[in-house]
Structure 1
Amino acid sequence: MKNIIITGTSRGIGYELALLFAESGHQVLAISRKAPKPLMENPNITCLTIDIAKSEELVKVEDFVEKAWDKKIDVLIHNAGSLINKPFENLTALDFQNVYAVNVFAVAELTRICIPFMLNESHVVTISSMGGVQGSMKFPGLAAYSSSKGAVITLSELLAEEYKEKGIAFNVLALGAVNTEMLQEAFPGYEAPLSAQEMADYIFNFALTGNKYFNGKVLQVSSTTP
């Protein structure tokens, strides 16, 4: 049994991941602004309804781990994401700030909070996007989103080097198209080949075993473009 923290669990991949881990007997802290009823009713899931873009609310994660999990985190999955689809000339500084607050700054702050509770063989998995991978195909309107996803790729690579002696692995999964509400926001009407549940299956296994084979790596999990 492992202690698993997942962000962005109100819908899509994060929701499916929380259920997968819980049904496999792991303890899950599901973080999102809204808590779906099936997650709240699962005995292996604790729902923490906070806005991760607000650092003062992330302190609640530290309080929970200290009191309920005996100061131990095995896996941290940064799944939450914010997307704005606008022509670049229409993007404002506030648009960039809002996207980066969730996709970059919250990732950094939550990681900083969790690291003291992570021991040898623990794993931090950041869900990025193919749009954040250097040299991949890029799409108009996603300047804020894709650049933020590139930022967390570099952050993860740096942290893997900084904490390798402590035995904490940091890896990134750069996802391609998955049938989620966020995909429809970016590409209305596009039908992706993978469902949220199928991608959750992959991430579930990688989160539990990928740190044995990878550290500081960016794995491109995509069979299509976008």
Structure 2
Amino acid sequence: MKNIIITGTSRGIGYELALKFANKGHQVLALSRKTPQVLIDHANITCLSVDLSEMGSYEKVGDFLKSSWKNVDAIVHNAGSLVLKPFSETTLEDFERVYKVNVFGVATLTQICLPYLKSGSHVVTISSMGGIQGSMKFAGLSAYSSSKGAVITLSELLSEEYKERGISFNVLALGSVQTEMLAEAFPGYLAPLSAGEMADYIYDFTLKGNRFYNGKVLQVSSSTP
């Protein structure tokens, strides 16, 4: 059984993923601002109320790892922040808010976990097809899509920097999945995949994908809006 950290567990894919790992007997550290009671009550889940846009919040994670876990087998950077506005109306504060969660949060949490990551550990970052160069882009998502592109490059770099330690970094660039965030970005659109179905895929990839990939970006998309 493995120690798994998952961000963005209050809803959608992160929530489903936390339950799936826990129900399979793994120990889960669930990080989100809001904590569903179902996760709190689960014997295999430790919930920390963390605002991933506030760097000070990460001290809770460091304190927990220092006192409770000797190693981290996998991180799933699932949390995301989205602003839907025309570019002309998107403020610097909007960009900062999105990047704090989608990019700086990924970097900060990874740094905190580095002393606990060992050979065989797998760091999975959930990006978006909107962050893939050459893919279809949608108006109003300049902050979100550009942040998802940034985190792809960050993961590629980290895979090179830590390959001698045997730590793998991979990215899953998701297409449309029926989540609350998708509904915010594309009101009325119905995706072909549920959050639970995508969680099943991410679960398997987190546990086994690093045997086949390192520093890769996999496009997991049956459709885009």
Fold in common (TM above 0.5):
yes
Instruction: Write the deviation string for residues 109-148 of structure 1: whole angstroms up to 9, x where unpaired.
Output: 0001101100000000000000000000000000000000
Look up the equivalent residue of 1:34 and give its one-letter code.
K
Structure 2 CA distance, aligned partners of 1:66 and 1:102? Answer: 23
Give the alignment of 1:22-33 within 5 angstroms: 22-33=22-33
Offset at 1:225?
A: 2.0
Instruction: Write the deviation string for residues 170-208 of structure 1: whole angstroms up to 9, x where unpaired.
Output: 000000000000000000000000000000000000000
Structure 1 CA distance, aligned partners of 2:224 and 2:14? Answer: 22
> Is it true that 1:121 corresponds to 2:131 in the alignment?
no
Aligned to 1:61: 61
Look up the equivalent residue of 1:24 and give its one-letter code.
K
Aligned to 2:191: 192
Look up the equivalent residue of 1:17 and give its one-letter code.
L
Structure 1 CA distance, aligned partners of 2:85 and 2:153? Answer: 24
Look up the equivalent residue of 2:66 and give its one-letter code.
E
Give the alignment of 1:141-152 within 5 angstroms: 141-152=140-151
Structure 2 CA distance, aligned partners of 1:199 and 1:74? Answer: 21
Offset at 1:10?
A: 0.1
Offset at 1:78?
A: 0.2
Look up the equivalent residue of 1:84 and give its one-letter code.
V
Aligned to 1:98: 97
Look up the equivalent residue of 2:5 and give its one-letter code.
I
CA RMSD of aligned residues (A): 0.5
Look up the equivalent residue of 1:27 and give its one-letter code.
Q
Q: Which runs of 4+ in 1 moved over 2 A?
A: none
What's the % identity of the aligned pairs? 69
Offset at 1:62?
A: 1.2
Structure 1 CA distance, aligned partners of 2:124 and 2:91? Answer: 30
Give the alignment of 1:118-197 within 5 angstroms: 118-197=117-196
Structure 1 CA distance, aligned partners of 2:142 and 2:57? Answer: 28
TM-score (norm 2): 0.99
Q: What is the count of residue pairs matched by the alignment?
A: 225
- Stretch moving more, 57-66 or 10-19: 57-66
Secondary structure of 2:203's counterpart equals helix
TM-score (norm 1): 0.99
Look up the equivalent residue of 1:87 and give its one-letter code.
P
